[in-house]
Amino acid sequence: MLLAVTALCLRLAGCENKEKAMEQRQAAFEDSLLTIIREANIPMIQLKYTEPSDSVYCQVGVTPWSTEKPAAVDSASFSYKETGKADYEKEAVFQAASLSKVVFAYIVMKMYDKGEIDIDRPLYEYTDIDRFVDKDMAKKLTARLILMHRSGIDDWAASPSSDEWPTAPIKFTFPVDSIFGYSGEGYAFLQRAVEAIKGKDIQSIAKEYVFEPLDMPLSSYEWIPEFEGITTASVRRSGESQGVRQFPRQNVAYTLRTNAIDYSNFIRAVMDGKGLSQTSHALMITPCSGPATQFPPKVRPVDEKQSIFWGLGIGIEENKNYGRILWHWGDNGNTKALFVIIPSQKKTLVYFANSGAGHDITNKVLALFFKDGPMDIQDWIQQE
User: 170 with 185: CB under 8 angstroms?
Assistant: yes
β-sheet bridge partners, residue 80: 86
User: 233 with 244: CB under 8 angstroms?
Assistant: yes
Average pLDDT, the chain: 89
β-sheet bridge partners, residue 241: 235
CA distance 384 to 375: 17
pLDDT for 276 beyond 50: yes
CA distance 46 to 355: 12
pLDDT in tens, 208-221: 999 999 999 999 99
pLDDT in tens, 282-333: 999 999 988 999 888 889 999 999 999 999 999 999 999 999 999 999 999 9
Which amino acid is located at 215 in the chain?
D
CA distance 15 to 207: 38
Higher pLDDT, 80 or 335: 335
β-sheet bridge partners, residue 94: 258
Q: Is the whole-model pTM more than 0.85?
A: yes
User: 144 with 151: CB under 8 angstroms?
Assistant: no
Higher pLDDT, 73 or 38: 38
In CATH terms, the superfamily for domain 94-381 is DD-peptidase/beta-lactamase superfamily (3.40.710.10)
CA distance 365 to 369: 7
User: Of 111, 91, 47, 112, which is closest to residue 267 (Cα–Cα)?
Assistant: 47
CA distance 181 to 148: 9
Render the burial of 169-206: b for 16+ CB within 10 Å, e for the rest: ebebebebeebbbbbbbbbbbbbbbbbeebeeebbebb
Element spanning 12, H or E:
helix 2-39
Average pLDDT, stretch 41-57? 92
Helix 2-39 to helix 362-369 angle (10° resolution) is 170
Element spanning 218, H or E:
none
Q: In the 3-class helix/strand/coil scheme, how is 272-319 assigned residue by residue?
A: HCCCCCHHHHHHHHCCCECCCCCCCCCCCHHHHCCCEEECCCCEEEEE
Locate the domains of the chain by residue range: 2-88, 94-381
Question: Within its chain, how far is the Cα of 361 from the centroid?
Answer: 16
At residue 3, the pLDDT reads 52
User: Cα dist. 244→158, 251, 334 in Å?
Assistant: 22, 17, 11
pLDDT for 86 beyond 90: no
Average pLDDT, stretch 242-256? 94
pLDDT for 206 beyond 80: yes
For the chain, what's the residue count?
384
